[in-house]
Chains A and B, each alone.
Chain A
Amino acid sequence: MLIKKGAEASLYLETWHNRKVIMKKRLPKKYRIPELDQTIRSQRTAYEPNIIHKAKEAGVPTPTIFMVDVADANIVMEFVEGKQVKEVLDSVSSEERLRLSRLIGRIIGRLHKHGIIHGDLTTSNMILTPHGKVVFVDFGLSERSKELEPKGVDLHLMKRALHSTHHKHAKECFKAVMEGYAEAVGKEKTKKVTAKIREIEKRGRYVAER
């Protein structure tokens, strides 16, 4: 059963060896020519489970991978019970909202500390489980890097996602995200990345303070 048709892949909820699983299929995109399409799909399919594995090593909750088919661009993974953070962030109590934001910040901090750049930090890629845990589910655009620049871009994207989707609470949420981030990577590094985010914002086109 198709449960989500994303830009990058389609997610199907299936039963696989008596398990409830997510099949992540990178279906061919009709708009792309086959050569480019096949390359993008196989590369991303091979890369994603690898990064998810690294994220697990960093202590980041992610779905378990059961099977990878590179040629067909198909990944079978655990179905994570819960709700998208996108759906709940605006409606929960302000206390819970800050707890979630700090938790998300801590998780991003752990990823960055281990040289993992998520690449698509939006609240629709995070699942809140019934136990209050947050699981990061989509690593389709992730990359490995220890550099400050991509970390800044990553957090900048998070900030932008909060402003475009949760504009009412974006400011307090991002502040809490950065607090959580500091818990994971320390104050010194947080200061540096915060300065980087500012720099990236100013680099954006048509920023008044530039």
Chain B
Amino acid sequence: MPANKSTDSYCLGIESTADDFGAAVVSFEGKVLSNANDAYMPKKGGIHPREAARHHAAVSEKVLAEAFQTAAVKPQDIDLVAFSQGPGLGPCLRTGATAARALASYLDVPLVGVNHCVGHIEIGKLATGAVDPVTLYVSGGNTIVSAFEAGRYRIFGETLDIAIGNCLDVFARAVDLKQKRGVPFGAVVEELASKGEKFVSLPYTVKGMDLSFSGLLTAAVQAYQSGQYSVEDVCFSLQEVAFSMLTEVTERALAHTEKPEVLLTGGVAANRRLQSMLETVAEEHDARFCVVPLRLAADNGAMIAWAGILAYKSGVSTPIEKSYVNVKWRLEEVYAPWVER
């Protein structure tokens, strides 16, 4: 077991925004020492918030123990506790927040509430070395194009209805795709799409910088149900249209802000087709393309710990009486004094 306790300080990060319960130990220098996780798997359909919260409560002890063990850091050596304070599903967020409050007060260390979206951006920057990127953050709950401007991560474009990850998940369930444990529906769709050949025309909806996926979802399901197209062809077409839309708005933000980097983060960042489209666009604008590594793409405790460390170092902490969760906490509401420009 490596002896990690030296002069460095450690943060415990707890993530419980949606279906994942994650706990991680990250050093103040930015080393991810552990990143434990347990995902709630619904028997049928999507995430039931209360059921997911129940799952989180049941696995929290095990996941936390694993985070400490892997990191070879004792709870008493923790200097800071960070937790995902929103946006997300209320019951799930509250489970993580409760664990974080209890640990912070028991260990008598400061507590920091972290905005989940900021977590995805900051872990992407840490892992790739990006400094001032246009970020495309894509997941089951969020689809946001943002860039840092005057103290905050500004939203340049976002979905007007459902998130891209949600669109892929609902499509997959609607056409009866089978999911294996640990393999997200997005990966199942990606695999099938790689075997598709024929392009099925589907609605392409970009409104300025904003996107809409609900019409695309309906049309894709209907195309499959019509019996005229194979599931591979529909998956292929759905991905091509949806990812072209995402790439177009990202390119628009890039052209507008002239930032030197493009960062792809969030669970859907794992998709190789989306990665290759964004890489193409980044190259054309002489921007460096950065993609969050797979192990840090989906919701995880490390991103919460790291964003918590950044906030804490710049003087931000959350007193327990102000640590209630904020299920609708928008990215641009967060003042981010730690970002240097």
Closest residue of A by beta carbon distance from B237: A36
Structural contact, B158 and A31, CB atoms closer than 8 A: no
Task: Say which one of A47-55, A95-103, A120-128 lies at the interface with B.
Answer: A120-128
Contacts A6-B252, A124-B256; is A31 near B277 (CB within 8 Å)? yes
Write out the residue numbers on chain A whose beta carbons fall within 8 Å of the beta carbon of B199: 33, 35-36
Specify which of A7, A40, A160 is in contact with B252 (CB 8 Å cutoff). Answer: A7
Q: Which of B119-162 contact A (CB under 8 A)?
A: 142, 149-150, 154-156, 158-160
Nearest-neighbour CB distance to chain A for B206, whole angstroms, equals: 7
A204 within 8 A of partner (CB): yes
Residue contact A33 to B240, C-beta cutoff 8 Å: yes
Known contacts A36-B241, A206-B329, A206-B330, A31 near B252 by CB under 8 Å: no
Contact check, A30 vs B280: say whether CB atoms are below 8 A apart: yes
The CA-CA distance from A7 to B250 in the complex, in Å, is: 8
Cβ contact of B281, chosen from A31, A124, A164, cutoff 8 A: A31
Which among B86, B207, B251, B280 is the interface contact of A141 at CB below 8 angstroms? B207
Interface centre among B150, B248, B285, B327 (most CB of A within 10 A): B248
A210 at interface (Cβ–Cβ under 8 A)? yes
Closest B residue to A4 by beta carbon equals: B255
Cα distance A7–B282 when bound, in Å? Answer: 11
CB atoms of A119 and B201 under 8 A apart: no
| Cβ contacts under 8 Å, B156 to chain A | 164
Between B158, B209, B285, the greatest number of chain A beta carbons within 10 A of the residue's beta carbon is seen for B209
B residues near A36, Cβ cutoff 8 Å:
199, 204, 240-241, 244
Interface size on B, residues (CB 8 A): 43
Query: Which B residues are in CB contact (< 8 Å) with A30?
Result: 280, 284
Given A5-B285, A7-B255; A39-B207 close (CB under 8 Å): no
> Once bound together, how far apart are the Cα atoms of A31 and B277, in whole Å?
5
- B108 → A minimal CB distance (Å): 32
Complex alpha-carbon distance, A206 and B277, angstroms: 29
Q: Which residues of B contact A7 (CB under 8 A)?
A: 248-249, 251-255
B182: Cβ under 8 A from any A Cβ: no
- CB of B327 within 8 A of CB of A157, answer no
Q: Give chain B residues whose Cβ lies under 8 Å from the Cβ of A29.
A: 244, 247-248
Which of the listed residues B207, B240, B276, B328 has the most CB atoms from chain A within 10 Å of its own CB?
A: B207
Does A167 belong to the interface (CB within 8 Å)?
A: yes
How far is the CB of B216 from the nearest CB of chain A, in Å? 12
Q: Are B330 and A205 in contact (CB under 8 A)?
A: yes
Whether a CB of chain A sits under 8 angstroms from the CB of B45 is: no
Whole-angstrom distance between the alpha carbons of A165 and B209 in the complex? 13
Task: Check A32 for interface membership: any CB of B closer than 8 A.
Answer: yes
By a CB distance below 8 angstroms, the chain A residues around B169 are none
- Decide yes or no whether A78 CB sits under 8 A from chain B: no
Q: Which of A1-21 contact B (CB under 8 A)?
A: 5-8
Given A7-B252, A167-B149, A205-B158, verify A32-B240 contact (CB < 8 Å): yes
Residues of chain A contacted by B155 (CB below 8 angstroms): 160, 164
Check A185 for interface membership: any CB of B closer than 8 A: no
Interface residue? B210 (CB, 8 A): yes
Residue in A33, A153, A163 whose CB lies within 8 Å of B207: A153
Residue on B nearest A5 in the bound complex, by CB: B255
Contact assessment for B149 and A207 in the assembled complex, using a CB-CB cutoff below 8 Å: no
Give A40 to B199 CA distance when docked, in angstroms: 14
- Selected contact of B87 from candidates A35, A160, A206, CB within 8 Å: A206
Rounded to whole angstroms, the CA-CA distance of A72 and B248 in the bound complex is: 20
- B315 at interface by CB-CB < 8 Å: no
Q: Give the distance in Å from the alpha carbon of A108 to the alpha carbon of B162 in the complex.
A: 29
How far, in angstroms, from A203 to B210 measured CA to CA in the complex? 13
Confirm or deny: B208 has a beta carbon within 8 angstroms of a beta carbon on chain A: yes
The complex places the Cα of A5 from the Cα of B255 at a distance, in Å, of 7
- Which chain B positions have C-beta within 8 A of A39? 201
Which chain B residues border A124 with CB–CB below 8 Å? Answer: 256
Query: Is there contact, CB below 8 Å, between A157 and B207?
Result: yes
Residues of the A chain whose Cβ atoms lie less than 8 Å from the Cβ of B255: 5-7
Q: Give A103 Cβ to nearest chain B Cβ, in Å.
A: 21
- Asked whether A8 lies within 8 Å of B248 as measured between CB atoms, the reply is yes
Are B158 and A204 touching (Cβ within 8 A)? Answer: yes
Q: Are A31 and B244 in contact (CB under 8 A)?
A: yes
Do residues B150 and A167 form an inter-chain contact, with CB atoms below 8 A? yes
- Of B86, B150, B240, chain A has the most CB atoms within 10 Å of the CB of B240
Q: Please name 7 pairs of A and B residues whose Cβ atoms are closer than 8 Å in the assembled complex, sorted by A.
A: A29-B244, A40-B244, A141-B206, A160-B209, A164-B155, A203-B160, A205-B87
Q: Which residues of chain A have a CB within 8 Å of any CB of chain B?
A: 5-8, 29-33, 35-36, 39-40, 119-122, 124, 141, 153, 157, 160, 163-165, 167, 203-208, 210
